[in-house]
A and B are shown apart, each in its own frame.
Chain A
Amino acid sequence: MAYAERVLDYYNNPRNAGTLDKSSPQVGTGFIHVPEYIEVVRIQIEVSPKRHVIMDARFKTFGCGAAIAATSITTEWLKGKTIEEAAKLDHMNIVEALSLPPAKIHCTILIEDAVKAAINDYREKNGMGPLSEEEELEELEEEEY
């Protein structure tokens, strides 16, 4: 399969691969696997407690090259966002940012889920309760990747 150059770039030079301290109250971890798919995606965010801004984001992915590139670019996007902004991530924005073929859209759905799971993990650790449905359903504003 021929991928856009950007996919190859992120695959060859993954940004933000790594691990944050799962036990830290400032770290939210989202670890997603859906039985039908082979991919396993883990996204971690480190959030500043005052304004709930994501200071750092890390990933690890078991999956195809597109899944690896897509998780990596997502962590870049997450940095500097508030957790409310981050919760509005739409997987189709990842698809567009990397010009992924339709067959790879399922990878980005897992990533969207992992981001939301990471945010929820952080919120729960900090007594905020999980994301409300409205927050999840809000349309993502135009964001620049």
Chain B
Amino acid sequence: MLKLPVYLDYNATTPCDQRVVEAMLPYFSEAFGNASSRNHSFGWAAEAAVDLAREQVAALIGADPKEIIFTSGATEADNLAMKGVFEMYADKGNHIITTEIEHKAVLDTCKHLEKLGAEITYLKVNSDGFPDLKELEAAITSKTILVSIMYANNEIGVINPIKEISAVAKKHGVLMMSDISQAAGKVPVDVNRDGIDLAAFSAHKLYGPKGVGALYVRRKSPRVKITAQMDGGGHERGMRSGTLNVPGIVAFGKACEICQQEMEAEGQRLSVLRDKLENALLQLEETVVNGSKTNRLPHATNISFRYVEGEALMMGFNKHLALSSGSACTSASPEPSYVLKGLGLTDDMAHSSIRFALGRFTTEEEIDYAIQTVTETVNKLREISPLWEMFKEGADMSSIEWSRL
């Protein structure tokens, strides 16, 4: 029996895996100790649980457990990394390079740092969603302290050539940071192979709970230092003070362990379902996939349906399908997704896009249902779209005559 609504917004968040919930439950009311309490068994039990979780989290990305700093999530980790590096390396310079299509956790942190005197270069991306490595290299100056480029994009799912990007940064002695939130647990991330010095990620994107995440901070070649953004207690090797969220951390660890074991099979299964969904929807006329189709997450696709508007599409199926739209027609001047605009999409195409993100609990039956529902809704809306009518009549869409008052 199909349970409605069907959830296809796994890039926004994932449900907590039941195995993860079970692992964390004892740490709420039985083994509830403070991991910093050194004088009794409650504290020791909590500390041991955190140690195990730190190993599990580190193992997922090929890091050493000592390189994992627990935070409240990826946003905090992004902030800590960028602000921490900016302050710590102020002697070296004030220049940071990133891309136009980063998550707001990075872009808004950049804007904040600009107010504090940082120079930020926002690299453009091509229609596939990738920055140009030559432009990256040309942007590096003697004042450059950090390159921050996401591993996989949350809206279009494309996976950046992080190894090549970090090689450019390393060649010039610049630190390489990556927000790996969408990639960790979904595709193999290895901080050593990929040349990443700082990496931010979050438990709730990989079937763990919300409110816990981590920052990876490289300890060797180079030894990365960051200035703490939170004072008090000196937890997490002084880089992030605050009593540890033990149940959340335990759950994060368990979630990482499961991902590491099941990632490959899960990715294969989901890419088959994703391709089925995508191929079926591409049967509709005037429909395109946004971003690279070759180098991307196995479970995600972003499709524009020309001549219908994204929010109207949402309204057609939001009782039955949980999806996310690239359109945000909620203000007097509606703004389409800056990621899709960054790829060079026109406003109308950016407004007509839907992000599909499958996940661990997605079934083939759900995909069949989604195909049917989206197809019907697109057809229905096109029936009442004046632009679709004109397109079908073969009108030249660039020379439409608008009424004059």
Binding site for B on A (CB under 8 A): 1, 3, 8, 11, 14, 17, 19, 29-33, 36-42, 59-65, 67-68, 103, 105-106, 113-114, 116-118, 120-121
Contact = CB atoms under 8 A, between A and B. Distances in A.
Contacts of B405: 113, 116-117, 120
A30 B403 contact: yes
| 8 shortest interchain CB distances as A-B pairs | A117-B403, A65-B315, A60-B386, A42-B386, A64-B311, A17-B384, A64-B329, A62-B385
22 contacts: A1-B330, A3-B315, A8-B315, A11-B312, A11-B315, A17-B384, A31-B386, A31-B402, A31-B403, A33-B400, A37-B333, A38-B309, A38-B329, A38-B334, A39-B309, A40-B386, A63-B329, A64-B312, A64-B315, A68-B312, A103-B330, A121-B403
B235 to A, nearest CB: 41
By secondary structure, the B interface counts as: loop
Contacts, number: 87
Contacts of A1: 330
Contacts of B400: 31, 33
Contacts of B327: 38, 64
B383 interface: yes
Interface residues of B, number: 33
Identify the interface centre among A61, A62, A113, A117: most chain B CB within 10 Å of its CB: A62
Given A1-B330, A38-B347, A29 B315 contact: no
B315 to A, nearest CB: 4
Interface string B45-78: 0000000000000000000000000000000000
B387 A40 contact: yes
A38 B306 CA distance: 12
Contacts of B348: 38
Nearest to B332: A106
Contacts of B384: 14, 17, 59-61, 68
B192 to A, nearest CB: 45
Given A31-B386, A31-B403, A60-B384, 11 more contacts: A3-B315, A31-B400, A31-B401, A32-B402, A32-B403, A37-B334, A38-B329, A64-B311, A65-B315, A65-B316, A103-B331
B201 interface: no
A65 B150 CA distance: 34
Contacts of A105: 332
A14 B385 CA distance: 12
B331 A62 contact: no
B404 interface: yes
B351 interface: yes
Contacts of A118: 403
Contacts of B312: 11, 63-65, 67-68
Nearest to A35: B347
A73 to B, nearest CB: 14
B18 to A, nearest CB: 31
Contacts of B333: 36-37
A67 B308 CA distance: 12
A106 B330 CA distance: 10
B341 to A, nearest CB: 13
Contact of A17 (B311, B383, B387): B383
A63 B309 contact: yes
B389 interface: yes
Contacts of A3: 315
B207 interface: no
Interface in B373-405: 381, 383-389, 400-405
A29 B330 contact: no
A39 B310 CA distance: 12
Contacts of A29: 403
A18 to B, nearest CB: 8
Contacts of B334: 37-38, 64
